Chains A and B, each alone.
Chain A
Amino acid sequence: MPSITINGTPCSFTPGQTILQVANAAGIDIPQYCYHDGLSIVASCRICLAEVWAPNPKTGQVEPQMGGKLQPTCQTPAAEGMVVYTDSPKAVANQKAVMEYLLINHPLDCPVCDQAGECLLQDYSYEYGRGVSRFEEQKVKQPKKDLGPHVLLYSDRCIMCTRCVRFTREVTGTGELMVAGRGNKEEIDVFPGVPLDNDLSANVIDLCPVGALLDKDFLFSQRVWFLKSTPSIDPLTASGDNIFIEHNQGQVYRIKPRTNPAANRWWITDEVRYGWKFVHGDHRLASPMVRQYGTLVGCDYARAYEAAVEGLQKAAAGGKKVALLVSPMIACEEAYLLASLVKAIDPEAVLGVGPVPVRGRDRIYPEGADESHPRSFKMYAEKAPNARGVRRVLASFGPVLEYADVLRTLGAGSGRSDAGAVLVTGNYPDAAWAGDELTGALAGKFVVLIDTLTSAAMGEADVVLPSATWAEKDGTFESARGHLQAFERAIPPVGLAKSEGQIALDLRAELDRAPARVSGADLMVVNTTPGQVAAAVEVAPPRSKAYAAAAVRAEMASRPGLDVFSTGVRTPEQPTAARTDMPIVAL
């Protein structure tokens, strides 16, 4: 492999890479604003300039290239034997000058700027800038602008790297943003009446190296240094976009894209970015509930588990089948545990996949391009993260029914059904999933509902168990791109919620603990005083294992058809150890 030397460090490269790309890959710091892997190269910020020496093809002598002119490393292709200096006096003088130029018209409002703490201007000012400002003149003042539904522009913080402009031209192809004006009065703007409103619009916020483009949703809500960042997977669409959940003290604040060249690359859609609101929504189910005298009343888990297992067992014992409806919103591991549970109750159980929401059609950006476009980004119409994974897991237990077939089996339309009890999982981000056909099919059966939000399905449920959203648990989703991707728990479950996996394990423990109740005696009624909450009855909670996705995956992998879970799951890359510029001194 050919190699170049950057600041004394030899780095190998593949032909076609620019010097900056080689340096980035090798972990050598070269300051950069306008350069971005996913966008075209403009070489306009001028801070990455370096002195480049290269061997003279005639003499073989290493000589300064282009007569010692500083060269933009982002644009200069690496060539065998090149020697690059970004720490030479000339290059350092340029870095200092560019930092000074960028700051002369930049307001000193870091204390109220959302970008503070993750701002390249701050980082490079610290590393490459000068300590004091020599600028005594008037700063150019520019307005704040509302660019679109998600994005605010603070023009005076802008350093004109034009990443955002290039993004709307090259990645979305919508071209809403432009540069208006000239010289130091120029600003990013939209045409009047054409807001920055496309499915990927909020990515310009991540692209902005400074605090010029800000997220309306995140505006002034948290200082970024308080946020913890947990790698995760898009929970709302089939695309399997890699994301970071940024949270603090059990509260999600924002979602950021996580770079994955094989999946979403650098971008996520706005629906993924802002789709987490249901996690802290007002309609989260707060506690387990059981139906008493026709009404759902809150109770403790032990009581709910007991009622659930008893109901399911009774149906199985009564010659009826138990049906399991696994929603495509929950993780593979949880589908596995739930299916194991149901099969333990009723070996003849019917397994089906819940409704898979589809909105519109798949859309490919840039507009008008197809998937062969080098910058294409596909937005999936299928709004469920794990339909494929759930099918894959359930298929190892027997035939898998699609949602329509499940409804038919439950007697929708005909009214005749041999299913007596149904275990239904939800976890959809909105309540619309439980339509009339579902409630109609569930009517008259013993229904255990595991869900996160209140929905119409509760009207037919006999036991309701509150479940945790994806942010509150581990698991694996299988995306439409065919990737099995693991995600990690970011925040503890909200309220009394538990993950579907934990609920399945608990129910299993309950099942193993309790002797089969086959008599006609209805213990629940006997034990309950009318008008009093069932929690008054002391029942020892079942002792179960704690749900851990990795352990479940190991167990699943031994099952025929699921061996892919042993090695085929992509786990998030562990962040490399934080770099420190302070030497650790032995005392």
Chain B
Amino acid sequence: MAFPPINPNLSGPVLTQRIPGWPYADPKGRHVVSYEEYVKTGGYEGLRKALGMRPDAVTEEVKASMLRGRGGAGFPTGLKWTFLPKVKADESGREEDAGRRYLAINADESEPGTFKDRLLMDFDPHLVLEGIAICCYACRISTAYIFIRGEYHHQAKVLEKAIAEAYANGVFGGKGLLGGASTARGGSWAVDCYVHRGAGAYICGEETALLEGLEGKRGWPRIKPPFPAIKGLFGRPTIINNVETLAHLPSIVSQGSGWFVKQGRASSLAGQMGSHGTKLMGVSGHVNRPGTYELELGITLRQLVEDPALCGGMRKGKKFKGAIAGGISMGVLGPDQFDAEMDFDIGRKYNVLGLGTACPTVFDEDTDMVAVARNIARFFKHESCGQCTPCREGSGWLYQLMTRIEDGQGRTKDLDLALEIATSMGSMPGTTICGLADGNNWAVRTIMNKYRGEFEARVRPTFVPVKVSVGAMARG
């Protein structure tokens, strides 16, 4: 089967330009990019260009690029930045002090099947740092915290080393960005950057739970409003962005929003924002060549899996049965949805929650979907923070039900009950503070609906006919 060209609008990778990998190069050449190498290959030029622009102009550029958050929800990044309190300026363009603001970088990449931010932190940490610096300048933020997943020991070390390099070379620190370079805003702009390691809770990837974690508290999501852009970390305006989102900023600033908008595709749905730029897609599961690929949004799942330049087909030539589109909380694409386009419209078009992290886990025909559902339910039961009643109790109940069904102890009515629990826990909007219950519900509900037959084959009928051997009702 012939596939359209990969990344038709690009001559080479963007985020992974310093990280060799398919389809452009052999991953064996991967190494941690040092400050010197990063600068030699055009690094920190985006930041230099940004400092020559007024902060609002940088924000406008990002807004014009239609960059959408790469953490899962796909919220427009530039729009998010404009939610910060406005900073007033006098006629000469001198801005008043914006007060303390924070940038929290969400590096708590704990979604099962997702390993995209990891690639950047593993090999090209300065790309992330440059993005942080640009965001801090555009949003007038002077302190950035990288909240990194607790299990990412190695990545935390790489980042810390890179930050030390950046400080030593004047990128960060008291003198100002890029050694105190003057900015279009007037004067220099100093940023401090820290790495904060999480303690291993999935929920801390939720933005407000992440803030609680940074403050040293238990990772319980906060009630919104107030939104973090108004009252976030330590009660101050805070921007929370994903690692990959920030890594896009240097190239957007240096090459312009027009360049970025050319990549990807406009939305096929009326009134929806398009899906532009490239996306890191980490493919796992039953494919020949799992790994992280940088691809323009809009590529079909089929091409991702079957293109010889990419994953190279299903393992052992088995048939495609389904795939988790982007992190398990987004739900499952069924066997008839192999041609789904990997872009931000996927949620509306294919009855899943959304694109998520765009890291598909692919299942072949031998996969036991009941076990998949049970495993997913187990994950959410384990990671429910326990704050809201429906999620705390519902996730545990759902897991027990799934276990029973998998063990063949379930009855038909249990299937309906499981669907009802999933619905009342998650899909009825507003039942919980954060989206964890939604994720649980979408994952389990889409699997149960799309593979109902497998579930029904595992359960006994609710009403077992009783054999009567004596009396008038006796039958043969």
Contact = CB atoms under 8 A, between A and B. Distances in A.
Nearest to B393: A101
Contacts of B223: 41-43, 72, 75
B389 A68 contact: no
Contacts of A68: 429
Contacts of B388: 44-46
A425 interface: no
B389 A94 contact: no
A45 B389 contact: yes
A69 B395 contact: no
Nearest to A41: B223
Contact of A186 (B386, B404, B432, B433): B386
Contacts of B394: 97, 101
Interface string B420-438: 0000110011111100000
Nearest to A33: B389
Contacts of A49: 430-431
Interface in B92-134: none
B118 to A, nearest CB: 24
B392 interface: yes
B319 interface: no
A102 B389 contact: yes
Interface string A19-51: 000000000000000000000011111110100
A94 B386 CA distance: 18
B407 to A, nearest CB: 12
B428 to A, nearest CB: 7
Interface in B372-424: 381-390, 392-397, 400-401, 404, 417, 424
A41 B224 CA distance: 12
A97 B433 CA distance: 16
Contacts of A75: 223
B430 A42 contact: no
Interface string A96-107: 011001101100
Interface stretch (A1-9, A177-185, A521-529): A177-185
A70 B218 CA distance: 26
B369 interface: no
Contact of B390 (A98, A134, A160, A181): A98
A69, A75, A182: which has the most chain B beta carbons within 10 Å? A182
A182 B218 CA distance: 10
A341 interface: no
Nearest to A67: B429
A449 B170 CA distance: 85
A140 interface: yes
A312 interface: no
A66 interface: yes
A65 B204 CA distance: 28
B201 interface: yes
B383, B392, B395: which has the most chain A beta carbons within 10 Å? B392
B438 to A, nearest CB: 12
B433 A90 contact: no
For chain A, the bracket of interface size reads 35 or more
Contacts of A93: 424, 428
A183 B396 contact: yes
A155 B222 CA distance: 25
A140 B396 contact: yes
Contacts of A67: 429
A245 interface: no
Contact of B385 (A72, A134, A182): A182
Contact of B397 (A94, A137, A181): A137
Interface in B429-459: 429-433
A207 interface: no
A190 B218 CA distance: 15
B395 A183 contact: yes
A43 B393 CA distance: 16
Contact of A135 (B389, B397, B425, B433): B397
A160 B392 contact: yes
A160 B386 contact: yes
Contacts of B428: 70, 90, 93-94
A184 B393 contact: yes
Nearest to A183: B384
B381 A183 contact: yes
A160 B390 CA distance: 12
Nearest to A181: B386
B382, B389, B392, B397: which has the most chain A beta carbons within 10 Å? B389
A43 B220 CA distance: 12
A138, A159, A185: which has the most chain B beta carbons within 10 Å? A185
Interface string A297-313: 00000000000000000
Nearest to B432: A46
A292 interface: no
Contacts of A90: 428
Contact of B383 (A42, A46, A182): A182
B424 A97 contact: yes
A12 interface: no
A135 B201 CA distance: 28
A69 B429 contact: yes
A184 B384 contact: yes
A17 interface: no
A207 B371 CA distance: 42
Given A102-B389, A137-B400, A184 B433 contact: no
B385, B390, B394, B395: which has the most chain A beta carbons within 10 Å? B390
A98 B394 CA distance: 9
Contact of A184 (B381, B404, B431): B381
Contacts of B390: 46, 97-98, 101
A230 interface: no
Interface string B297-310: 00000000000000
B397 A44 contact: no
A134 B420 CA distance: 12
A184 B430 contact: no
A173 B320 CA distance: 58
A395 B40 CA distance: 92
Nearest to B203: A182
Nearest to B403: A137
A379 to B, nearest CB: 28
A241 to B, nearest CB: 32
A43, A45, A184: which has the most chain B beta carbons within 10 Å? A184
Contact of B386 (A98, A137, A183): A183
B138 to A, nearest CB: 29
A47 B396 CA distance: 19
Interface in A186-201: 186
Given A67-B429, A70-B431, A71-B430, A186 B392 contact: yes
Contacts of B393: 101-102, 104-105, 184
A68 B431 CA distance: 12
A140 B385 CA distance: 16
Contacts of A181: 386
Nearest to B397: A104
Contacts of A179: 218, 386
Contacts of B396: 104-105, 140, 183-184
A95 to B, nearest CB: 11
A43 B425 CA distance: 15
A94 B390 CA distance: 9
A134 B417 CA distance: 9
A47 B383 contact: no
Given A97-B394, A137-B397, A182-B386, 14 more contacts: A44-B387, A46-B432, A70-B429, A75-B223, A93-B428, A97-B390, A97-B425, A104-B396, A134-B417, A140-B396, A182-B382, A183-B383, A186-B386, A186-B392
23 contacts: A42-B387, A43-B223, A44-B389, A45-B388, A46-B388, A49-B430, A49-B431, A68-B429, A70-B430, A72-B430, A93-B424, A101-B392, A137-B401, A140-B396, A160-B387, A181-B386, A182-B201, A182-B382, A182-B386, A183-B395, A184-B392, A184-B396, A186-B386
List the 4 shortest-distance A-B pairs measured between CB atoms, nearest first.
Answer: A101-B393, A70-B430, A69-B430, A137-B400
Interface of B: 201, 218, 223, 381-390, 392-397, 400-401, 404, 417, 424-425, 428-433
